Amino acid sequence: MKKTEGKRTYEKGVIDRGERKGIRENTKITELLKEWVKLHNQHPLSRTSVRVFEGDLYSLMDDVDFYEDAGCRKLVNVLTCNWDVIRDLALIEETEGRIPRGWGDRHIRLTPEEDVKLRTLLNEYEHWIERLSERFEIDTWYQSLREGN
């Protein structure tokens, strides 16, 4: 069966991957890009949004057909690796115990220095997100989305 993401088509379910099958299909690239624009524009960031985006980003790797056959394995690896650094900084309050366990506040509160570093990382990450839109030939659509059109 053929599957289409953006203007790119790849094989879905043609190879029996047995035990290597993930738990769900990948999040559509267009949906991931919409989430990214919202997340990138959040200030302060929401803990929940960081975790939701991460799950959807990692779904690109969990869907083995997409990960292996859509022609973007290295790019997905770069995206997830760079995201791990962003997530670790965004959720530093939790890991350093600066907020109580199970704290219900959705918004991330970083020191001014941490906030500047996080914003820098998010802006650098934008480059890789743009590469993802280019890979699926939806970069014009993505630029329009970023501009609010």
Is residue 117 scored above 90 in pLDDT? yes
**Beta-strand relationship, 2-5 and 8-11:** antiparallel
Confidence (pTM):
0.86
Is residue 18 scored above 60 in pLDDT? no
Q: What total of structural domains would you count in the chain?
A: 1
Residue 2's alpha-carbon distances to 6, 9, 10, in angstroms, are 13, 6, 6
Which pLDDT score, from 0 to 100, does residue 15 have? 57
Is residue 30 scored above 90 in pLDDT? yes
- pLDDT tens, residue by residue, 84-94: 999 999 999 98
Domain encompassing residue 28: 2-146
Using DSSP, state whether 42 is helix, strand or coil.
coil
Using DSSP, state whether 13 is helix, strand or coil.
coil
Which pLDDT score, from 0 to 100, does residue 124 have? 97
